[in-house]
Chains A and B, each alone.
Chain A
Amino acid sequence: MATVLAPESDPPVDTTRARQPDATGFIERDGVRVFWERYGEGAPTLLLMPTWSLFHSRHWKFQIPYLARLFRVVTFDGRGNGRSDRPEESAAYADTEYVADALAVLEATDTHRAVVIGMSMGAGYALRLAAEHPDRVLGAVFIGATIPILDRDPATPEIQVDPSFEEPPADDSDWGTYYNANYWRRDYPGFAAWFVGEKVFTEPHSTKQIDDGIGWALETDADTLVTLEYGSYLSPPEDWQREPADGRALLFARRVRCPALVIHGDDDHISRWAVGERLSRELHAPFLTIAGGGHAPQARWPVLVDRAIRDFVRGLEVSP
């Protein structure tokens, strides 16, 4: 498999971090190296999942220093950004690959079971991990979940990537203009500024989060994200029973057995609030709505989210 390798040399230590990792390393699967970090000594372990590779693991910067005081925290850069490799085939970006990376990172950090926490597409990866590997997942937290869980129109073919993605924009809507492979290749920073600045962080006073987010986005590139776009996401196995109107994610949610917490902003411009609401109903999970919150409350409302995670984890019955 052709793979663009991450730089060999260690980057300089980021001295602005509130908390440095206690251990770091790489796992390698099919020639793709994935970078992980471990913090803290408490129990249980929290696995902070990667999200869409527009961002890397620094999107958890407000969770790591706090939660690592109380628990053991493991995170990793999703393939396609950060210090992980950028494979050049879409198959390498399937959700099953992220789930397999997560399992490999659990092995590498001697973690038998963890509370799995995911944001946006990372909530989809966490959902698949929880549904398919219940023995490894103590509990799950889904933040701004971006998953196809709402009822679909059975008359419409189920396609993951709209063909207009590679065409000249069909209309002058902002989604049509910016969420487009040609636009990404022509003006990737412009796309990042629009997506992060206008769609992810819709709350006032988000300039720091926007600067951070654009910075993480610029650590990868348009070609990587176009390749990733065609990676399979929450495709259920053929033999899972499905009603025509069922969203694909619903089938995974039905298979989750662990306790869960769902957090969603009611002003989320990436994934509608109704998505989180439906997920919480399906999981019989408590649902924390963040009034006025956008797509990334873990970055914009960190105190609220950290405390919700803390209380959720403390409420789990963890056997040694």
Chain B
Amino acid sequence: MITSDRAPTRTDDSGRARLPDRSGYTTAGDGVRLAYDVYGSGEPTLLFLPSAPIVHSRQWKGQVPYFSRTHRVVTYDGRGNGLSDRPTTPEAYHDDLMTSDIASVMDATGTERAVLIGLCVDGVWRSIRLAAEHPERVLGIVAFGIGVPRIGPVQEHYKTAGAQFDDELPVYQGWGNYNRHIWTSDYERFARFFFTEITSEPHSTKAIEDATRWAVDGSVDAMLAEREAAFPWDLEGIEATVGNVRCPILLVHGTEDTCQRPERAQRLAELTGAPLVLVEGADHMIPGRHPVLANLLIRDFIRSLPEASNDGR
């Protein structure tokens, strides 16, 4: 396996409000090692998912201390960042692997069933897929910043910047920073730009600074590989998968989401019949930027689950 030469790291570990009770690694089917943390006790287990290799599990810092008072909480660093391996081949970021990583972490932590909580594509689409294919393992899903590909339009800036991602540009301004040459020459500049764009609420300096640091913990080579990973689903396949989900779902999306357009959330709500909470004025990073709101929504969702969800793992 080809991996990035950067040592796995998470720089933001010193000021934690709550330390994990147990940490460990599991090895995925292709040999990639995934780092997980387990906190607290109490049913059901809440599994907080990765969003994308641009960040790692500290993205849930606003949730972990609160929920680990009352629940067993599991987080893991997705492949490509944090303490997990950083493979640099596109195949390592195939949808099948990214989905089976969730089950690997559940197996390694002795978690038979869990409520999955996620943001963006790796958090939302992969949890939908796991729930469709392994309904016995998923008690419910709380989905933020709805990242389900193809069911709604892509943001224009991704189309424009993506089309010239490999090009050398005369100037790299705005979404022009979403470009291979900026990634490889000044990744922190890209990260700071990106998180400033998708955390557009006033008074977000701490959230932006945190996320930029988590990005720099990661690997540009992993990011480039992930970008080229195949996504072997057409719209029909995605809608069929969504249609197979039977567990309760809560959808939460900001009206100002710069990463995922609200149409995707609306469409997923239509397809699943799930309630959609549209947060007025919020951008993409709701759990990080609006933790109290996110936590109360998650808490109420867990309380609303059928009683049977709460006995045994």
Binding site for B on A (CB under 8 A): 204-205, 207-208, 211
Ordered by A's residue number, 5 sampled pairs between the chains whose C-beta atoms are within 8 Å are A204-B209, A205-B206, A207-B205, A208-B203, A211-B202
Verify A211–B205 contact, CB threshold 8 A: no
Verify A204–B205 contact, CB threshold 8 A: yes
Residues of A close to B209: CB separation below 8 A: 204-205
Q: In the complex, A208→B202 CA distance in Å? A: 8
Q: In the complex, A205→B205 CA distance in Å? A: 6
Inter-chain contact count A-B, CB under 8 Å?
Answer: 13
Report the minimum CB–CB distance from B208 to chain A (whole Å).
10
A interface: dominant SS: helix
Residues of A close to B206: CB separation below 8 A: 204-205
Interface flags, B182-216, vs A, CB<8A=1, else 0: 00000000000000000000110110010000000
Residues of B close to A211: CB separation below 8 A: 202-203
Q: In the complex, A207→B202 CA distance in Å? A: 8
Residues of A close to B205: CB separation below 8 A: 204-205, 207
Residues of B close to A207: CB separation below 8 A: 202-203, 205
Binding site for A on B (CB under 8 A): 202-203, 205-206, 209
Residues of B close to A205: CB separation below 8 A: 205-206, 209
Residues of B close to A204: CB separation below 8 A: 205-206, 209
Report the minimum CB–CB distance from B61 to chain A (whole Å).
14
Residues of B close to A208: CB separation below 8 A: 202-203
Known: A205-B205, A208-B203; 10 extra A-B contacts, CB below 8 A, are A204-B205, A204-B206, A204-B209, A205-B206, A205-B209, A207-B202, A207-B203, A207-B205, A208-B202, A211-B203
Report the minimum CB–CB distance from B213 to chain A (whole Å).
13
Report the minimum CB–CB distance from A204 to chain B (whole Å).
7
Report the minimum CB–CB distance from A281 to chain B (whole Å).
31
Report the minimum CB–CB distance from B25 to chain A (whole Å).
33
Task: Name the residue of chain B whose CB is nearest to the CB of A204.
Answer: B205
Task: Name the residue of chain B whose CB is nearest to the CB of A207.
Answer: B203
Report the minimum CB–CB distance from B31 to chain A (whole Å).
40
The residue among B202, B203, B205, B206 with the most chain A CB atoms within 10 A of its own CB is: B203
Task: Name the residue of chain B whose CB is nearest to the CB of A205.
Answer: B206
Q: In the complex, A245→B284 CA distance in Å? A: 59
Per CB-CB distance, the 6 closest pairs between chain A and chain B, nearest first, are A208-B203, A205-B206, A207-B203, A205-B205, A207-B205, A207-B202
Q: In the complex, A205→B208 CA distance in Å? A: 10
Q: In the complex, A205→B202 CA distance in Å? A: 11
Task: Name the residue of chain A whose CB is nearest to the CB of B205.
Answer: A205
Report the minimum CB–CB distance from A215 to chain B (whole Å).
13
Task: Name the residue of chain B whose CB is nearest to the CB of A210.
Answer: B203
Report the minimum CB–CB distance from B188 to chain A (whole Å).
17
Q: In the complex, A211→B205 CA distance in Å? A: 13
Q: In the complex, A217→B209 CA distance in Å? A: 29
Report the minimum CB–CB distance from A288 to chain B (whole Å).
19
Q: In the complex, A61→B149 CA distance in Å? A: 43
Q: In the complex, A211→B202 CA distance in Å? A: 10
Report the minimum CB–CB distance from B290 to chain A (whole Å).
13
Q: In the complex, A204→B209 CA distance in Å? A: 10
Q: In the complex, A204→B202 CA distance in Å? A: 14
Q: In the complex, A103→B202 CA distance in Å? A: 40
Task: Name the residue of chain A whose CB is nearest to the CB of B207.
Answer: A205
Q: In the complex, A155→B206 CA distance in Å? A: 48
Report the minimum CB–CB distance from B285 to chain A (whole Å).
15
Residues of A close to B202: CB separation below 8 A: 207-208, 211
Task: Name the residue of chain A whose CB is nearest to the CB of B204.
Answer: A207
Report the minimum CB–CB distance from A164 to chain B (whole Å).
36
Q: In the complex, A211→B209 CA distance in Å? A: 19
Q: In the complex, A204→B203 CA distance in Å? A: 11
Residues of A close to B203: CB separation below 8 A: 207-208, 211
Q: In the complex, A207→B203 CA distance in Å? A: 5
